[in-house]
């Protein structure tokens, strides 16, 4: 359903106020060839209405990439900002960068965050942004769960379909996403509501069963023919079994000619009750990054590929996200999600961890 201009301006103002954008700092709107024009307009007008003097940095696209599709996560690491020190220097002067282009998984994003610039990535069309408008309650919910994950040493994931995956955690930071960037050096994504981390390198062991109805990104499709069975040893997928989708996934990973494509990347669970499991089948897939799937309440998100943005050694260009339903997630034996239901109330989690790790 279309969003009126007035409503769009109000929601952008609300989010930028949550980001604590002000006239006292630079606000840069970063755009590229595929940035949604209504998001460009909303970001610029909302920042100006709050007294800031925003300006836009627009970058031309990279040359075509032989393995990529239209989804901007099909190949990660290189962006239109790669090799452009002049644009990067300008962005480093900003208090906040509204990223409508997509810097995710890039060294340039990490450099900006390291300089203290905060980044809010916005890719979804306005009607999805409006439905999942972030709130202070989203931040409370995600940060409460983050207190547990950040102190954890072991993550265990199971499902009735056959998933039984164990890994050590703590080598890399956590990534809490609550929909707005309000502190120096913080990256976030509107819409979101999600918590993740990366397993210690070489520690993931076990089996992941991607069941019918689970989703594959960047393909933006549900698994429909047969479950996909992924055997994981020493942090890497060693076998992919199943039907058509299993072969499709295997072919995609192999096409990068990079062993790092088979590594276990970030893992976590969804905490956004406004996100919808069914949204992927109800939208024009070209217009959406699929944040409903990645953030829906109680999902387990398993991914493959790089961990370099967290400080790891794997900088593979291949990144696959697999949101899964009806899984159970345990941190040091404490249940966070059971059969797809979040079972750790935020107040109890926060209270239990109030004294720190």
Look at 236-245, 258-267, 273-282 and tell me which has the smallest mean pLDDT: 273-282
Alpha carbon distance 76, 72 (integer Å)? 8
Please state, in angstroms and as integers, the Cα–Cα distance from residue 285 to each residue in 264, 277, 303, following that order.
Answer: 25, 14, 20
Alpha carbon distance 119, 136 (integer Å)? 18
Q: Are residues 237 and 157 part of one domain?
A: yes
Residues 6 or more apart whose Cβ sits within 8 Å of residue 296? 270, 272, 275, 276, 277, 323
**Model confidence band, residue 335 (pLDDT cutoffs 50, 70, 90):** very high
Domain total in the chain? 2
Instruction: Look at 355 and 104; give whichever has higher pLDDT.
Output: 104
173 domain-assigned: yes
What is the residue range of 307's domain? 136-352
pLDDT digits (tens, 9 = 90+) for 80-109: 999 999 999 999 999 999 999 999 888 999
Given a contact cutoff of 8 angstroms between Cβ atoms, the answer to whether 297 and 275 are in contact is: yes
Q: Which of 80, 106, 131 is the last residue of a domain?
A: 131
Given this model, what pLDDT does residue 77 score?
A: 63
Give the whole-number percent of the chain exceeding pLDDT 70: 92
357 domain-assigned: no
Instruction: Look at 357 and 355; give whichever has higher pLDDT.
Output: 357
Alpha carbon distance 220, 124 (integer Å)? 14
Q: In the chain, which residue ranges form alpha helices assigned H by DSSP?
A: 5-18, 37-49, 85-92, 107-114, 126-131, 136-151, 244-254, 291-295, 346-352
218 domain-assigned: yes
Given a contact cutoff of 8 angstroms between Cβ atoms, the answer to whether 303 and 266 are in contact is: yes
Q: Are residues 250 and 154 part of one domain?
A: yes
pLDDT digits (tens, 9 = 90+) for 145-181: 999 999 999 999 999 999 999 999 999 999 999 999 9
Average pLDDT over residues 275-290: 84
Alpha carbon distance 140, 155 (integer Å)? 22
The counts of H helices and E strands in the chain are 9, 20
Average pLDDT over residues 178-202: 97
152 domain-assigned: yes
Q: Are residues 287 and 200 part of one domain?
A: yes
Given this model, what pLDDT does residue 282 score?
A: 79
Q: Are residues 175 and 306 part of one domain?
A: yes
Q: Are residues 19 and 53 part of one domain?
A: yes
CATH code for the domain of 23: 3.40.50.2300
Alpha carbon distance 65, 177 (integer Å)? 29
pLDDT reading at 275 higher than 90:
yes
Given this model, what pLDDT does residue 289 score?
A: 85
Q: Are residues 194 and 110 part of one domain?
A: no
Residues, the chain: 357
Q: Are residues 32 and 145 part of one domain?
A: no
Given this model, what pLDDT does residue 73 score?
A: 62
Looking at every residue in the chain, the average pLDDT score rounds to: 92
């Amino acid at each position: 359903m279309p969003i009126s201009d007035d409503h769009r301006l109000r929601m952008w103002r609300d989010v930028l106020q949550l980001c604590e954008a002000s006239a006292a700092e630079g606000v840069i709107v970063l755009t590229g060839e595929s940035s949604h024009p209504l998001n460009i307009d909303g970001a610029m007008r909302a920042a100006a209405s709050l007294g800031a003097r925003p300006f836009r940095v627009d970058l031309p696209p990279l040359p075509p990439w032989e393995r990529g599709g239209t989804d901007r996560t099909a190949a990660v690491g290189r962006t239109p900002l790669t090799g452009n020190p002049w644009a990067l220097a300008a962005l480093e002067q900003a208090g906040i960068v509204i990223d409508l282009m997509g810097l995710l998984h890039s060294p340039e994003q990490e450099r900006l965050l390291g300089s203290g610039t905060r980044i809010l990535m916005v890719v979804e069309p306005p009607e999805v942004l409006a439905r999942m408008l972030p709130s202070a309650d989203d931040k409370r919910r995600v940060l409460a769960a983050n207190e547990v994950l950040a102190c954890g040493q072991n993550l265990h994931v199971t499902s009735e379909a056959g998933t039984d995956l164990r890994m050590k955690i703590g080598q890399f930071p956590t990534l809490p996403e609550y929909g707005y960037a309000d502190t120096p050096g913080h990256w976030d994504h509107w819409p979101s509501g999600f918590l993740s981390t990366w397993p210690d390198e070489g520690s993931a062991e076990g089996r992941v069963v991607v069941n019918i109805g689970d989703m594959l990104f960047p393909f933006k499709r549900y698994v429909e023919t047969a479950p996909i069975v992924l055997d994981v040893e020493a942090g890497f997928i060693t076998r992919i079994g199943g039907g058509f989708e299993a072969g499709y996934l295997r072919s995609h990973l192999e096409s990068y000619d990079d062993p790092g494509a088979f590594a276990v990347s970030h893992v976590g669970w969804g905490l956004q009750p406004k996100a919808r499991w069914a949204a992927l089948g109800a939208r024009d897939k070209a217009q959406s990054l699929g944040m409903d799937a990645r953030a829906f309440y109680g999902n387990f998100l398993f991914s493959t590929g790089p961990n370099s943005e967290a400080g790891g050694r794997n900088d593979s260009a291949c990144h696959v996200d697999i949101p899964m339903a009806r899984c159970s997630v345990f941190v040091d034996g404490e249940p966070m999600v059971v059969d797809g239901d979040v079972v750790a109330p935020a107040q109890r989690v926060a209270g239990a961890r109030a004294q720190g790790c």
